[in-house]
Structure 1
């Protein structure tokens, strides 16, 4: 299980640092509220209440860099509130939350993951609450009518985009679209694929078959691809030359590999874009409810969207710079595919085609 990590915001230098400490640049006392002067309007009262709480505990499944950047940005925007961030994949987060919810003493104030079926089921039991803050309420650039499930109190907060990629030394001419992966030159284990082991994987392969056809889907399986359990494993294999190309990468991870010198590249399909929708909720039993609402406001702001969903999908329109698309352009998520029966059927079908 991941250790809890607390990310502290960066303090500015010189006069700004003195101001945040409650002193002017020449050392004289100042009004403590001066540091908060940038927070005005409807958020001022919420910020004041959140500062009294002093911290917000969040569970998130985004990348470590994104979680850290988001926490740092929030603390810089709202000094006086610490972000205690716990990064967990959904497979670990959900059992932990179920234990905490049933015990009556949950520790997460705000939760973000990619399992809407579970979030909706818990929301139907009253586990979450809504926020009346401006952005969450649809009074800003967030379209609450489109992205907020008012019945179950679940917010769609963004998405991570996936695409195909290749090793630039082994495939110098690149790849134009997914069907190129069915070329015989990629046979015999030269293509790496993500194993279908979870509901998101089932949704992805269902999208792949519907978008590009059963013939492509089966032909890709007939290539005898190498199977990998995670995106990280795929990126490492691609960079090392163990595989020539892959049907699955997250652009942010590939960009990190490129920055480290790996000969890799990716492109977005002209036919369609796949992504995993991200969802956020405020715990009805949050110890820091005001800080949780303020954190959600930041997640839904253009600044927060650019930090957590860089090279992904955004729920604000137009999307911030550095974000590839908006959530409404991603394939819709059907929570019914999260059921054990559906997942087992999808996995059996995939095994028959790819193993």
Structure 2
């Protein structure tokens, strides 16, 4: 089908295939048991498939949508063999995701740099949110590397000031990628650090400013107030900052990633998602559910340890790798 016409590069696709190996093996082991001894897709096969999709962290709501689509195919075609189930799943999930705004064919490898009213350059300000341990700092470092590789100048802001290790870890990435980082002492006001970082980025004529924010999931009101303050002070320097609020989720946590997404999207305006650590888990199906359930684009997925292994998410490639 035309769904699968777009493949960016052989190396990227091979990394994606390898990164999804555990998820794929887990899914197809269950699927092969579900259809054992069956020649056609019947109610029992569909019930088993529903259970497999839910247990693969696709999520209940998205699973029900997929089952409904396959039931429609069974009704329309009258007879569907179990040997066709893989192909049907591949097509229907890709079709489902094509109806959301997640993972469109947009190339997120280079951010769309804004310009002010006079047409001169304004830095692209990216604010990154997410709890501790999801791979937030690593994602920031890998994004800085990718942007710099594209010829863009990058400045980092260490506004996660509640944990000394967060500042130190971001500094390691700043040194590794060789980009400047703006920081203050642990316990400093995050908004103050964000202000300094954006101001420094403007002075340095940077293309991209990436602001790390607090990795604590405190109550919704506190989180909202803190992130609102960070946004407000940045806008004193760049009026329409931030241009993107990226929520980083750990794909290996499965349904917990859904819960974090719900809490953060309720507390602040999240405009994009990154799902990390997919290479070390059998829960890769979570990307399908998150892509479907949240009307927010999944821009990046982490499928390996290397600095190059944070990939721009393309739903067609993902489904192709998962069901190949």
What TM-score, normalized to structure 2? 0.28
- Relative contact order, higher structure (CA 8 A, sep 6+): 2
What TM-score, normalized to structure 1? 0.26
